[in-house]
A and B are shown apart, each in its own frame.
Chain A
């Protein structure tokens, strides 16, 4: 059984560009959360999707948006990239109502 998968592994973008990151949850999981982890910091919650709707959102600007598809996979979109958006972006999945979340390996985004 494959765990949480994310693509791409690494990405380099220029300031002002837009980026889309992808996540496939663990089999049987219907809830997907996205986290941003800056170097030396703990992961910070961006938002969570359940039943194709954004259910919770952390303290991130509207430049960060997402989507969940009927097969529970999810995308994270970031518009108008800033240098400060450089980070490891983590996707986590879980069954609804469960605390334990399973994280993917992340996508390393570098903005130059």
Chain B
């Protein structure tokens, strides 16, 4: 399974764009890159998933360069409610029956400051 490296923590002011970068040098050809968000005392929540180039949804954008050895989660104009831990996941296994086994690292703790 590909290992990921993310910053342990980041601070940002309200209204700014936040970019969280994840390194995954050993990503395999068929691996997708997925980001989850976790608020205190809650379970993680799926944010976005991509394979290459750029993916955008109503919550965030995901930028993946051609070599796919890193990815950047971009959160536009953050608010206090975006304070959470953000996890980058790569290369999760699937046995062929059921669903995927997710492998979480320690994530990036984002603190949004008023």
Chain A residues close to B by CB (< 8 Å)? 4, 31, 33, 35, 40-45, 48-51, 55-56, 58, 90-92, 94-106
Interface residue range, chain B: 20 to 34
Q: Does B111 count as interface, using CB distance less than 8 angstroms?
A: no
User: Interface 1/0s, chain B 18-55, versus A by CB < 8 A?
Assistant: 00000000000000101000000111111001000000
Which of chain B's residues have a CB closer than 8 A to the CB of A103? 42-45
* Beta-carbon contact of A42 and B45 below 8 Å: no
Chain B residues close to A by CB (< 8 Å)? 32, 34, 41-46, 49, 87, 92-93, 95, 97-107
Q: Which of B43, B93, B98, B102 contacts A106 (CB 8 A)?
A: B43
Residue among B49, B95, B101, B105 facing the most chain A CB atoms (10 A cut-off): B101
**How many contacts between A and B, using CB within 8 angstroms?**
77
* Beta-carbon contact of A98 and B99 below 8 Å: yes
Known contacts A4-B43, A43-B102, A106-B43; A100 and B49 CB within 8 A of each other = yes
* Beta-carbon contact of B107 and A33 below 8 Å: no
Which of chain A's residues have a CB closer than 8 A to the CB of B41? 105-106
The closest CB in chain A to the CB of B34 belongs to A99
* Beta-carbon contact of A43 and B34 below 8 Å: no
Q: Which of B49, B95, B107 contacts A99 (CB 8 A)?
A: B49
Known contacts A4-B43, A92-B43, A106-B43; A101 and B102 CB within 8 A of each other = yes
